Every structure is written in structure tokens, then in C-alpha cells.
Structure 1
Amino acid sequence: MINSAKFTERLQKVIDYYGETASSFSEKIGVQRSSISHILSGRNKPSLDFVMKVLHTYPEVELYWLMNGKGEFPSKPKISESPNSNLPKPELKSKIQKSNSDSEIEKIVIFYKDGTFKSFNP
């Protein structure tokens, strides 16, 4: 079971860490200002939706730390736990090739450190 008073302290720590006010924090995570006020005052307990919005907006916040104080905040990046951590890391080589004027770009792919990517077709 969650200790509401301790949860409130941890939530306030997150708000303070990012230099937010309750209003700006509520706006960033997409909840009404009154929701933050009621949770911080102890009137209401946080919903699962509320917790997930905090975790989605602030990835440095760990679920177990926020819920029961276990772990640390801000979390340290865990490279070994990334979705592609078991894949061999390709060697990066910088090559400049002379472009053929008849060549066309087929696709541009941008890879992010979190294992996600975006693909663009011109």
C-alpha cells in the first residue's frame, strides 16, 4: 500500500527538482491544477493515470521510487536495460562518398539513444 504522505513528499521533490510550480507541473503532465493541489494536500490519492502521466513526462522519475521510495531520483541512465541492449553495437565510421548526380534519396532514418527511430521518405 502507498504511504500517501511520503508519496506527496516525493511528488513535491519532483516538482521542485524541475523548478515547476504546481500550476506549470499540472499543465505539463496534462491534468487540472486542482488534481495536483488535492494530491499535495493529502485530500486525494493519485490515480494510475496520474502516475503514468508523471512518468511519461519526466522519464528521470522511476516508478518504484515515486510509489514507495525505493530506487533513486533522478534515475541514472541504464544502458544495459535498453530494448536493443542485446544487439551488437555497430562500429561508426565516417565516410564521405562522392555523390552521383543521378542519385536520389530513398529514405532518411534518425536513430535516438533510447532505441527509437523516425523514418522519413522524401
Structure 2
Amino acid sequence: MKDRIRLIMEKENLTPAKFADMLGINRAVISHILNGRNNPSLDVVTKILGDLDYINPEWLINGTGNMYKNGIDPESIRKEPDLFNQREIFPGESKRSAENHEDTSLNNQEVSTQLTENKQVASVSKPEKKITQIIIYYNDNTFERFNPY
């Protein structure tokens, strides 16, 4: 299975660190899997299949069948960002949600340019602090205690 995970990373142009970050798992987990020290846990397999929903589970687990689910075009899986398309669209994400994201970011920019009003802020008074005791420690393991009263 480690070779199939390595192939996924290769096809997705991901380093082990970026792959682990994308899945939300510790980077050492991926490192141990790729080095053959550990086998992937059910949690790791579940996260891979959840985040990369176009990967064929049979292929990932058993190595049988195609890497991608039926009807998935490997060439259209990731759209590389360019000058006009700075946001990557993943297969599980609809074009509509990508447009909503862009609309939201524009709305946030408009909100940030609005003028703010000057408002008076009431200060909270804190009780006055008073020194109650000072202790000085010396390097010969003795000390002196001073009280201000």
C-alpha cells in the first residue's frame, strides 16, 4: 500500500509534508509509512479516501482495479492555478462553491474599506496593587524578608 500512497502523492505533485498537512495528520506518520516502518492505519486510509474522493478504494486497499473511480478523468482532477484562476478547484468541490468563495472574499474586501466611527471606550478600573512582602535570596542560602508596614 505504501507504493500506492507514494503514487498518489506523485500524481498530486505533493511532498510527504504537504500530503500529511492536507490530510491533517502528523508528518511522521507519512514518513513512517513511506519508509516501511509502519503500515497505514484505518484512520490514514479513511482520510485519504475522504479527502481524495476520486481515488478507487479497492485500488488503494487491495491494489486491484484502476487508481481512479470509474468516470473520473485523471487529467481534470486538479486544475493548476494560473494568472486568472488563483484558486484550485478540487473534484469534490462544485464550481458553485468556488464562485461563492470568490464572492465572499470580495464582500470581505468591501467591508474592510468601510469607514469606522470613533467611539468612546470606558476604561475598567483595576484595584490598586500594593506590595505586601519583599524577599531577597542570597547565594549562601540565606534570605531577608521585608514588609512595607
TM-score by length of 1: 0.56
Q: Which amino acid aligns with 1:36?
A: I
Higher RCO structure, 1 or 2 (CA under 8 Å, sep 6+): 1
Match of 1:34 in 2: 28
The 2-side partners of 1:21 and 1:74 are apart by: 20
Counterpart for residue 129 of structure 2: none
For 1:94, the equivalent position in structure 2 comes to none
Instruction: Name the counterpart of 1:56.
Output: 50
Number of residue equivalences = 73
How far apart are the structure 2 equivalents of 1:68 and 1:49? 16
Amino acid at match of 1:56: G
- Highest CA radius of gyration, 1 or 2? 2
Alignment of 1:72 onto 2:63: no
**1:81 corresponds to:** none
Which residue of 45, 53, 57 maps to 2:39?
45
1:76, CA displacement in angstroms? 2.6
Does 2:22 match 1:25? no
Instruction: Give the letter for the 1:23 counterpart.
Output: A
- Return the alpha-carbon distance in structure 2 between the equivalents of residues 20 and 11 of structure 1: 11
| Cross-structure match for 2:75 | none
Deviation at 1:26, TM superposition (A): 0.3
Q: Which runs of 5+ in 1 are unaligned?
A: 1-6, 79-111, 113-122
> What root-mean-square deviation, in Å, do the aligned CA atoms of Structure 1 and Structure 2 show?
1.4
Residue in structure 1 matching 2:3, options 3, 9, 24: 9
CA contact (8 A) 2:2 2:39 kept: no
Q: Which runs of 5+ in 2 are unaligned?
A: 73-93, 95-149
Q: Identity over aligned residues, as a percent?
A: 34
1:96 paired residue number: none
